[in-house]
Each structure stands twice: as C-alpha cells, then as structure tokens.
Amino acid sequence: MPCAPSVSAPSASARDRAAERLAALATPPGALGRLGDLGVWLAACQGQVPPAQVDNLRLVIFAGDHGVAAHGVSAFPPEITGAMVRTFLLGKAGVSALAKAHGVAVRVLDLGVDEDFADLDEQTRTALTAYKVRRGSGALHLEDALTAEQTRAALDAGAAVAREEIAAGAQLLVSGDMGIGNTTPASAMVAAGLGLPASEVVGRGTGIGEQALAVKTGVVDAALARAGARTADPVETLTALGSADLAATTGYLLAAAQDGVPVLLDGLVSVACALTADRIEPGAAAWFAAGHRSTEPAQSLALAKMGLEPLLDLGLRLGEGSGAVAAVPVLRSAAALLRDVALLSELGA
C-alpha cells in the first residue's frame, strides 16, 4: 500500500548557501533586514540559490456558510457569503483588486455555501461547486460542524485543489476565505490547538460590539466544552469545531507543504488552518510565511506558536487572502535582492 505523503523540511543546503550569498552581497551585513531572511526562506523552499522570481502565484478562496452565524456572532447576515462569492467571480472584491495589481491568479470554490447558485451559468456553477461538501456547516456550540466523512472529503478536496494549482505551475500558494461567521470556528480551532480559553482568542471579526463579543466568547467556550477531549486531535477538531471550507483550506495548505510549495498565509482563517495543518503533520509550518498580522488575537497567537513573524502590520481585518496578496511585492523584493545584487567581492574596490 502506498504511504500517505508526508512533509519534509525545506532544503538545508540551499538555506545555507542562500545565507552565505546574502552575507556576501554588496550591502552592509544585515542591511537587508527581514527581506534577507525572507529570500533565504524562499531559496530553501525552492531548493535553489539564488531563488527564482515568484511569477506564478495562485490564490484559492474557499467559501462556506456557518450555522453559528445565526446566533449573533457576526455584524453581517449570512446572505453576504453568496453575494461576495458572486463579487469574486466578477473580480470586484477587495482581494480581487490586490490580486490584479500584483498578478495573482484567483479561483473561488464553494465548499459549503448555503445556497445553490442556480442563477449562474452552468459552466461557472459547475466549476464553483465542483468540491461542494454540504450547504452550511453545523453550529459548533450545539452540534458537530461536520461528520467525520465530510471532514475527510473536505480535506481531500483541498489537497486535490492544491495539486491542480501546483500542476498548473504555481510557485507559491495563498488561501483565502469567505463565509459570514467564520472567525468563530477559526478562533475555536486556535483555542483548541493552543489550549486557551475563548476570552484569550476571540476578536471582533467584521466589527461586532461589546454585547456580540460576549455572545461570541460564550459560543466558543460552549463549543470547546462540547468538543471536550476531542480537541486533542486536529482532524477531530475540524469535525467538531471547523467547517467544510476550513477543512478544505487545511487540506490545501497541508498538500502545499507535502509537495514542497511555499505558502504566504493571510488572516485568521488561513492561519487557524495552517496551525491545524501543522498539528496534523508537524513541520508543515516550515513551508509557510506570514503575509500580515490581522487584528484578530487568535491570528497572532497561532503565528507565534508556529514561530512566524508577519511581514506586514497594516490593521487589515478583511480575510479573502488580502493580507497575503498585499505582501506579495515584499516577497518579490526579497527574491530580487538575493538574485540581482552584486557580491562585495565583485566590486573591485
């Protein structure tokens, strides 16, 4: 029987050679700061020095609805999820503008939106819903978000999508999220992974006030209590506390790490799923860089647990992949510096 793919580390020899090249550039030692470190990470992921410029970047937005959204945890109604999916298809969302500016390909997939998109033309609807697992996910404080079979199907779907993008030439993958209420399951997954109470992880999402924040905190604590000891297992955590879209995102990020393709992480959902991927296969996080710091406490806590320092800190709290895509020019800057700067030994001084 073939073994399931597992995660190997980025190339230590490419990392060492890249660090040597960085130290030998015609710049004062350390002058490139974190751009230098980022270039070294990229070279280690690619296994080549200098690293190739990152031209082929792909964002996949995993969309889904969340039963918990009917329980007062978001500032917006669930109908926005489907409306935003249509906006991604039109190329008019926040992340669409950023992706256009930075040459990032965007694909949106419905893993669990609570509607059937009957108004879309057949080709668009077929592509959008090809990996759909269910309509909406269970309200995590009251019932499991998914069945075990649905969790497996969603993890496999995300992995298949990552492999399609890699086969099409992706040099770097980004995950995006769309789903009203999704910061609640994402916070619960971080609380489960880090062993923290809701009060330490929960944030304001789309901009909820004090009252809704108290409701959201209570919901996450109730969900953690309901899941109990199952939170010790990352796949069980997805079944109890996640959703179809979050499980697919986890499978996508894990497959990127297994196949040795680097990832720029986005906000809370992306990072909660990255943490879960790293719990499933420890070492996966070595393939991830943090695009930005979101305003959600759980995102910062999960990044710290994975040892990742965000490239940008702009007060962004959008999701969709926006913070990762905004960091793409930083990544390209790092690659350009390690590729195109002369060596001090070549100066002839």
For ligand RBZ, the closer of residues 52 and 75 by Cβ is 75
* Shortest reach from residue 100's CB to ligand NIO, in Å: 20
Question: Bridge-partner residues for 174, per DSSP?
Answer: 59
Lookup result for tokens 């490419």? 14
Closest to 141 in 3D by CA, of 216, 76, 81 = 216
The residue number with the shortest CB distance to ligand NIO is: 267
* Shortest reach from residue 103's CB to ligand RBZ, in Å: 21
Choose one: 93-101, 192-200, 261-269, 301-309; the region binding ligand NIO (CB under 6 A).
261-269
Q: Is 205 in the site for ligand RBZ (CB under 6 A)?
A: yes
Contact 284, 251 (CB under 8 A): no
Residue 334 contact among ligand NIO, ligand RBZ, none, beta carbon within 5 to 8 Å by kind: none
Contact 127, 54 (CB under 8 A): no
* Shortest reach from residue 107's CB to ligand NIO, in Å: 19
Choose one: 10-18, 39-47, 179-187, 255-263; the region binding ligand RBZ (CB under 6 A).
179-187
From the CB of residue 26, how many other CB atoms can be counted at a distance below 10 Å? 12
Q: Say how many residues make up the chain.
A: 349
For residue 258, the SS3 value is: helix
* Shortest reach from residue 97's CB to ligand RBZ, in Å: 12
DSSP string, 214-278: HHHHHHHHHHHHHHGGGGGSHHHHHHHH--HHHHHHHHHHHHHHHTT--EEE-SHHHHHHHHHHH
Among residues 200, 296, 320, 346, the one annotated as catalytic is 320
Q: Is 65 in the site for ligand RBZ (CB under 6 A)?
A: no
Q: Is 320 in the site for ligand RBZ (CB under 6 A)?
A: yes
* Shortest reach from residue 108's CB to ligand NIO, in Å: 16
For ligand NIO, the closer of residues 278 and 296 by Cβ is 296
Rg, Å, the chain Cα set:
20
d(CA 136, CA 275): 23
| Helix (H), strand (E) counts: the chain | 15, 5
Burial class (CB in 10 A: 0-12, 13-18, 19+), 53: middle
**Cα three-residue angle 37-289-65, rounded to 5 degrees:** 165
Choose one: 3-11, 44-52, 165-173, 313-321; the region binding ligand NIO (CB under 6 A).
313-321
CA 74 to chain centroid, in Å, comes to: 20
Q: Is 115 a catalytic residue?
A: no
d(CA 253, CA 93): 23
Q: Is 298 in the site for ligand RBZ (CB under 6 A)?
A: no
The backbone region for 315, taken as left when phi is positive above 0, alpha when psi lies in -120 to 50, beta otherwise, is left
The residue number with the shortest CB distance to ligand RBZ is: 205
Determine the size of the site formed for ligand NIO (CB under 6 A). Answer: 12
Q: Kindly identify the residues of this chain, within the stretch 196-215, that bind ligand NIO according to CB under 6 A.
A: 205-206
d(CA 105, CA 28): 36
Residue 80 contact among ligand NIO, ligand RBZ, none, beta carbon within 5 to 8 Å by kind: ligand RBZ
Pairing type for strands 104-112 and 172-178 reads unpaired
Q: Is 181 in the site for ligand NIO (CB under 6 A)?
A: no
Q: Is 216 in the site for ligand NIO (CB under 6 A)?
A: no
Choose one: 29-37, 69-77, 115-123, 134-142; the region binding ligand RBZ (CB under 6 A).
69-77
Question: Out of 87, 96, 231, 294, which residue is the one contacting ligand NIO (CB under 6 A)?
Answer: 294
Closest to 197 in 3D by CA, of 236, 228, 226, 224 = 224
For ligand RBZ, the closer of residues 181 and 193 by Cβ is 181
* Shortest reach from residue 313's CB to ligand NIO, in Å: 12
Annotated catalytic sites, by residue? 320
Applying CB under 6 A, the residues found at the interface with ligand RBZ are: 74-76, 80, 84, 177-184, 205-206, 318-320
